[in-house]
Amino acid sequence: MPQTTTPAADHTLDFALLQESAARHGGRNRRALWWLLGLLTLLLGSVVTLMLYLNNFELEEAARRRAADAQWLEQSVQFHFRRLEDDLLVLARQAVQNRTAADSRLLADPHDLKAGLLWREPGIILSRGWIAAGQVNDLRVGPERWQLDWRAHPDNTQALALMQSTSQGLRRAAYAGLMLQADGQPTDVIWLAVPFFDRGQFAGNYLAAVSVERALAALVPGWFTQDHSVQLLTDEATGQPDTAYRVGLNLPGTDLFVQVALTQTQPTTVPRIFFLVALLFLSGMLVSLYALRRDFAKRQQVEALLQAQVALRTAMENSVTIGLRAWDMNGRILYVNEAFCRMVGYSAAELIGRSTPFPYWPPDQMEPLQRVHHSIMAQGTSGEGVEVQFQHRDGHLVDVLIHEAPLNTARGEQMGWMSSVLDISERKRAQRMAAQQQEKLEASGRLVAVGEVASTLAHELNQPLGALSSFANGLLNRLNDSSISLPELLPVVTRMAGLAERAGGIIKRVNAFARRRELSRQRLDLVALLQRVLVLLDDEQAVPPAWALPDHPIWVDADELLLEHLVTNLVGNAQDWAPHGGQLPQVWVSLRLDAAQGMAVLSVTDTGPGVSEDAQATIFNAFVSRKEGGMGMGLAICRSIVEAHHGRIEVARDPLLGGACFTVLLPLANQSQPKEKP
């Protein structure tokens, strides 16, 4: 039967979401077209409205410009007239200080003053002079033009008299004008009176005749007159055109106004240019509308495919058990998946955006984790990854293995790191259990060997030691009966009894230790114990040990008899090998405190041949001996005793004596482990 092929054989992904999206393309395109047409209509209406608004805005802007220009001119005129008042005040002070120079022609030259523009510009100050307080109504004093304008017209006389009385009464500068000719025609001349008071007393007025037309011509710059016309008015009621703006000069004592009118208006080209640009854009929109309509279908297909792929990727991320985490170059979390959230017990909303320290870091491991974090930010992780511990929200620790990979943008620029986080808690737990089992097996093997030897020693030495004890007691009884010389036998017998009892105790303790009975630990001064044991080992028939011990106690938690057995074995072994080194036999015992490790360090060295590198690996094994007739259990028992006290024993070649150096490290009392059953 022939097999038929189906479209499913194609390698492209065929999702139901993509098929449903393709079926709805036609309706969505029509809706998008209506939206675009409505947007085009709205835009066209906005362009027309904006044109009307811009036209009105241009008119208002022109009016605001005229007002601003007129106000600027007003402020400029007032500023320069105030400066002129200050200049006349300086001349008035000079006139008072030099009474002999009261005549205006004898006063300082105006060019000698650092005066303002109105004072320095020629043709503006037509006449000037000083009138003292007692000569105000005396026409024989003062400037020449003052007398002419005073007599020219009655209105001039009234205005000039009012100006002087005003300046004296109000203690400020006053103006009068415009001056009239004899036929009543106005001129462009105004008078300025600046009073001066000497110690509170009116000293007089300094007068100046000013040509207003020439002052305006000097004050208005050339760029201003290119687009404006400036006209001096004496009546505010005079009609003004729509393109003009009128302001007062605000000179006390005068009714003068300045009318500023635009002579050239700028064409309103901005709305026209904007309208042409808007038409160009509208034409472009109409041309591109068809292209956009065709592009909609393609974009919707791509969007549907992208949505399907995102859904597939999300489902894949949620199904895996490996935690995924992304962060930027500043250490801020960008993304986490569900597996990572389950691993640490926090939701994605609680983690995204967080920076170091992260909430899942154990409080007691902040500094190591911070260093690991900085190392990852600098160079990532190696091929084996980094093993750290996280703390679950409920408090239990989670062992994890982290692998980091650079997180790059579409242009290849690194924006952060992508982490894969694997929960290895079960594997670490299995490794720890295996290590514990292996340690127990090794300890059991060593203890079995020790137990066998201890049982043998107990069985073989109990009867001889008992006989030795009985013999010693008999000798003591005879000595007590005075049947033997006490000075000859008493020290020897006492030592025999003590050694016998100690040997019996050691045998019992080792036997109990081999049978896994609890050690009799107590707080011991290791310095005192060594002094007592080394004194007993100072035998004339063997190499006498030399020692260097601290002058302060070193406390350990240990079984006293086992430590005595340990020291006796190590020193005895050194005494046996010291004569075989080819030099003067020596045995050296030292003790020091290693505060950094919290250990007491005991060293026993000799002048023997030492231990070769090959033998160092097996020297502590049971039944391994280099001495003739040796059982090979002495150093094995020493290692068992040290490990039972949570310490360690090492062997190396001593650089000074040249022989073997056995080093024992025992935990100090305040840092030792709690009592355990061996």
Q: Tell me what the mean pLDDT of segment 633-659 comes to.
A: 87
CA triple 577-580-583, angle to 5 deg: 115
How would residue 526 be classed by pLDDT, with cut points 50, 70 and 90? very high
pLDDT for res 601? 94
pLDDT for res 511? 62
Q: Which residue has the higher pLDDT, 342 or 633?
A: 342
- Whether 21 shows a pLDDT value over 60: the answer reads no
Q: How many CB atoms lie within 10 A of CB 481?
A: 8
- Whether 361 shows a pLDDT value over 90: the answer reads no
Chain center to CA of 244: 63
pLDDT for res 530? 92
The first and second tokens of residue 324, run together, are 């995924």
- Whether 237 shows a pLDDT value over 80: the answer reads no
Lookup result for tokens 């005129």: 77
Find out whether 583 and 641 touch, Cβ atoms under 8 Å.
Answer: no
pLDDT for res 107? 45
Least confident of 206-210, 394-398, 425-429, 460-464: 460-464
- Whether 193 shows a pLDDT value over 60: the answer reads yes
pLDDT for res 373? 81
Q: What is the SS3 assignment for 508-576?
A: HHHHHHHCCCCCCCEEEEHHHHHHHHHHHCCCCCCCCEEEECCCCCCEEEECHHHHHHHHHHHHHHHHH
For 128, phi then psi, to 5°, come to: -155, 160
CA triple 208-212-216, angle to 5 deg: 125
pLDDT for res 272? 64
How would residue 42 be classed by pLDDT, with cut points 50, 70 and 90? confident
pLDDT for res 275? 65
Quote the longest CA-to-CA distance of the chain.
177
Q: Tell me what the mean pLDDT of segment 651-657 comes to.
A: 89
- Whether 9 shows a pLDDT value over 50: the answer reads no
Contacts of residue 8, Cβ cutoff 8 Å, sequence gap at least 6:
14
Each as own residue / partner, the long-range contacts of residues 459-467 (CB below 8 Å, 24 or more positions apart, any chain) are: 461/503, 461/507, 462/504, 462/507, 465/500, 465/503, 465/504, 465/507
pLDDT for res 553? 92
* SS3 call for 200: coil
Calculate the alpha carbon distances from 644 to 45, 223, 434, 572 in Å: 96, 106, 20, 21
| Among candidate residues 70, 65, 77, the one with its CA nearest the CA of residue 213 | 77
How would residue 8 be classed by pLDDT, with cut points 50, 70 and 90? very low
pLDDT for res 675? 42
First-residue to last-residue Cα distance in the chain: 77
- Rounded CA-CA distance 53/35 in Å is 27
Burial 278-307 (b: 16+ CB within 10 A, else e): beeeeeeeeeeeeeeeeebeeebeeebbee
Q: Tell me what the mean pLDDT of segment 285-298 comes to.
A: 73
pLDDT for res 448? 57
pLDDT for res 450? 59
Chain center to CA of 256: 68
Find out whether 678 and 516 touch, Cβ atoms under 8 Å.
Answer: yes
Strands 587-594 and 545-548 come out as parallel
**In terms of C-beta density within 10 A (0-12 exposed, 13-18 middle, 19 or more buried), how is residue 97 classed?**
exposed
**How many CA atoms lie within 13 Å of 601's alpha carbon, on the beta-carbon side?**
11
- Rounded CA-CA distance 343/393 in Å is 9
Burial 391-428 (b: 16+ CB within 10 A, else e): beeeeeebbbbbbbeebeeeeeeeebbbbbbbbbbeeb
- Rounded CA-CA distance 192/79 in Å is 15
Q: Which residue has the higher pLDDT, 23 or 211?
A: 211
- Whether 398 shows a pLDDT value over 80: the answer reads yes
- Whether 16 shows a pLDDT value over 80: the answer reads no
* SS3 call for 609: coil
Q: Tell me what the mean pLDDT of segment 163-172 comes to.
A: 88
456-511 pLDDT per residue, tens: 465 445 545 655 666 577 667 766 776 666 566 666 666 676 667 667 666 665 66
In percent, the amount of the chain with pLDDT more than 90 equals 8
- Rounded CA-CA distance 678/671 in Å is 19
How would residue 69 be classed by pLDDT, with cut points 50, 70 and 90? confident
- Whether 407 shows a pLDDT value over 80: the answer reads yes
Least confident of 58-62, 87-91, 101-105, 178-182: 101-105
Calculate the alpha carbon distances from 659 to 80, 550, 590, 604, 615 in Å: 111, 24, 15, 10, 14
pLDDT for res 105? 43
Burial 26-58 (b: 16+ CB within 10 A, else e): eeeeeeeeeebeeeeeeeeeebeeeeeebeeeb
Q: Which residue has the higher pLDDT, 570 or 101?
A: 570
**In terms of C-beta density within 10 A (0-12 exposed, 13-18 middle, 19 or more buried), how is residue 437 classed?**
exposed
How would residue 515 be classed by pLDDT, with cut points 50, 70 and 90? low
- Whether 15 shows a pLDDT value over 50: the answer reads no
pLDDT for res 650? 92
Least confident of 106-110, 355-359, 445-449, 482-486: 106-110
Chain center to CA of 75: 54
Lookup result for tokens 């005895």: 572
| Among candidate residues 199, 193, 234, 227, the one with its CA nearest the CA of residue 213 | 234
Find out whether 659 and 608 touch, Cβ atoms under 8 Å.
Answer: yes
| Among candidate residues 284, 94, 119, 108, the one with its CA nearest the CA of residue 204 | 94
In this structure, the dihedral spanned by the alpha carbons of residues 476, 479, 483 and 484, taken in order and rounded to 10 degrees, is 100
Average pLDDT of the chain to the nearest whole number: 77
Least confident of 350-354, 627-631, 657-661: 627-631
- Rounded CA-CA distance 373/388 in Å is 10
- Whether 211 shows a pLDDT value over 50: the answer reads yes
pLDDT for res 227? 73
How would residue 103 be classed by pLDDT, with cut points 50, 70 and 90? very low
* SS3 call for 18: helix
**Ordered strands of the 125-132 beta sheet:** 125-132, 201-211, 189-198, 174-177
- Whether 629 shows a pLDDT value over 70: the answer reads no
- Whether 585 shows a pLDDT value over 60: the answer reads yes
pLDDT for res 104? 43
How would residue 228 be classed by pLDDT, with cut points 50, 70 and 90? confident
| Among candidate residues 361, 407, 77, the one with its CA nearest the CA of residue 219 | 77
For 552, phi then psi, to 5°, come to: -130, 150
- Whether 382 shows a pLDDT value over 80: the answer reads no
CA triple 496-500-506, angle to 5 deg: 145
Q: Which residue has the higher pLDDT, 23 or 566?
A: 566
User: Domains in the chain and their CATH numbers?
Assistant: 14-319 (no CATH), 321-423 (3.30.450.20), 424-517 (1.10.287), 520-678 (3.30.565.10)
pLDDT for res 488? 64
pLDDT for res 375? 80
Q: Which residue has the higher pLDDT, 323 or 606?
A: 606
Find out whether 649 and 642 touch, Cβ atoms under 8 Å.
Answer: yes
Q: Tell me what the mean pLDDT of segment 410-432 comes to.
A: 83
Sign of the torsion angle spanned by Cα atoms 577, 579, 583, 589:
positive
* SS3 call for 146: helix
- Whether 79 shows a pLDDT value over 80: the answer reads yes
